[in-house]
Each structure stands twice: as C-alpha cells, then as structure tokens.
Amino acid sequence: MSTRKPIIAANWKMNQTPTESKAFLEKFLPKFPESTPVDIVIAPAFLSMPMAAAQIVPSKSVDLSAQNMSAEPSGAFTGEVSAAMLKEVGTKYVILGHSERRSIFGEDDATINAKVKATLDNGFQPILCIGESLEEREGGKLEEVLRSQINGSLADVTAEQMANVVIAYEPVWAIGTGVTASPEQAQEAHAFVRGLLKDLFNEEVAAATRIQYGGSVKPGNAGELIALEDIDGFLVGGASLDPDSFGEIVQAGIAHVS
Ligand code: 13P
C-alpha cells in the first residue's frame, strides 16, 4: 500500500445555502469527532463558507476548501474572490480547473496555471482538476489531453511546491452522469498521470503526489476504487450533498487504510 494519505473531498458546487451547510455539518461532523487516517475536505459555495467555517475550522477531522480563487490579489475584478478573503475564513485547499470552470466559464490552462501559482504563493493547497471529454477519449486523445492539461496547469511550479498540490482526475463524461469510470479505466488514467508527473518533475514527486478520482463516486463504488494502486481519494459532487452518503464514502477510505 502506498504511503500517500487518502484525501476525500466534497465539492458542493452551487448547492447548499449557508443554512443548509450548517444543517449538513451538524449531521456530518459528529460522525468524525477525532482526526482520521484520511484527509476529509469540504468545499462549500463562497457565500456558505463563513457559516461552514465556524463549524469546520474548530473540528479535528475536516478541512475547508474553496471552489475557485482569483489569481489577482485585489482590485477591480467584479464577482471575484481573493486569497486574502479565503485566508480570513480559514481555507486550506482551493479547487482549481474544474471541468465546469473550463467548459462553462472558459478557463484555459494558462488561466488555471496563474491560479495554481497564486494559491501556492498564498500557502493554500490547490486541488487541480484535469480530465478528458467523451469525444476526446473516443477520438484517441486521452493521453494528449491529460499531458497538455498537466504541463499547462503546472508550468513553473517547482518540485518542492508539488508537496502541496493535489490532482483530481475527473473524466468529464463521468461527472454527474451516474456513469463511473471502470476500475481499469480509472487506474490506467491515474497511472498515466503519475507518469506525466515523473516526466515533468521527478520520480519522488510522482510517487508522493495524491491523485483523486472524481465522477459519480458513490458509497457503492468507493471501496472498489480506493483499493486501486494509483487512486488516493475522491472529489465527490452529487453524493457529497447528503451527510450519510458522504460519510459512507469517507468510511470506505478509512476502511482501506485501516
Ligand atoms: P459527481 O460526483 O456529481 O459526478 O461530480 C463529480 C465532480 O465534478 C466533483 O468535482
């Protein structure tokens, strides 16, 4: 078994109002009163972060994440959220380059790279999302897409900084569709991404970097996926909105390492 500590994160996307976030955490946090052998992360919407932080930051088991961050420190950027704002609420992680940011909001690898560097400069741990569309996979472009996303998004990041970077492999065709990548497809893609990290950095970085899987993760498939050699946790959308189902996914991670 690898020495990488699994990291299981809830990406709530544009769900859970401040009040709903509070109700979720009132049910979820008592399930994990002490620190666990997996890192548990919750990424609420920006407006729900202060309410959620009041419960998460004092907890021993869960860390707070943002779903995005501006690469700019401050200024005339209407609708954006800065590193200083995220620091003040106690954010540890920042999800960047999610496929919804890429496809709906037009973020490219250069934009995402600027954000990755800004999060690292500010002491956050980016959760960098990559993944191919169905068209790209069926067109034989899987490796080319993953290589250009990794090389583009991590340009100018140092091997030392990689200790604070988490990668999330999320095949776009598996997000919110109920279709999960098969264990073979997931393991193959994860091993390929680890190889890209070796090419871009070195063997140590490749061996140490945590690579999450995302795309229709549920309590019913989490155990099988976490057992795969190169899968180091999950980035969970739909199934993270219910405290019981997210709790079961975390339990699958704990059972794997225990
Ligand atoms: P689902 O778990 O709803 O498929 O979403 C995955 C995802 O996009 C997490 O970031």
Percentage of the chain beyond pLDDT 90 is 96
Q: Is residue 199 part of a domain?
A: yes
Question: Which mutation among 7, 12, 13, 100 tests ligand 1's pocket best, with the greatest number of atoms within 8 A of CB?
Answer: 13
Q: Is residue 54 part of a domain?
A: yes
Query: Which range, of 44-53, 71-80, 179-188, 191-200, averages the lowest pLDDT?
Result: 179-188
- At 165, is the pLDDT very low, low, confident or very high (cuts 50, 70, 90)? very high
The dihedral built from the CA positions of residue 123, 125, 253 and 190, taken in this order, carries a sign that is negative
Q: Is the pLDDT of residue 199 over 80?
A: yes
Total domains in the chain come to 1
How confident is the model over 98-119, as a mean pLDDT?
97
Does residue 136 carry a catalytic annotation?
no
Q: CATH number of the domain that 144 lies in?
A: 3.20.20.70
- At 249, is the pLDDT very low, low, confident or very high (cuts 50, 70, 90)? very high
CA dihedral 16, 22, 27, 28 (to 10 degrees): 70
Q: Catalytic residue among 132, 170, 190, 256, which? A: 170
Does residue 188 carry a catalytic annotation?
no
Which domain, by its residues, includes 140? Answer: 7-257
Q: Is residue 154 part of a domain?
A: yes
pLDDT value of position 116: 98
| Residues 214, 236 contacting (CB under 8 angstroms) | yes
CA dihedral 159, 160, 162, 164 (to 10 degrees): 180
Q: Is the pLDDT of residue 171 over 70?
A: yes
Q: Say which residues have a Cβ less than 8 Å from residue 81's Cβ, sequence separation at least 6.
A: 46, 66, 68, 69, 70
pTM above 0.95, yes or no: yes
Q: Is the pLDDT of residue 256 over 70?
A: yes
Q: Is the pLDDT of residue 2 over 80?
A: no
Q: Is residue 249 part of a domain?
A: yes
Q: Is the pLDDT of residue 1 over 60?
A: no
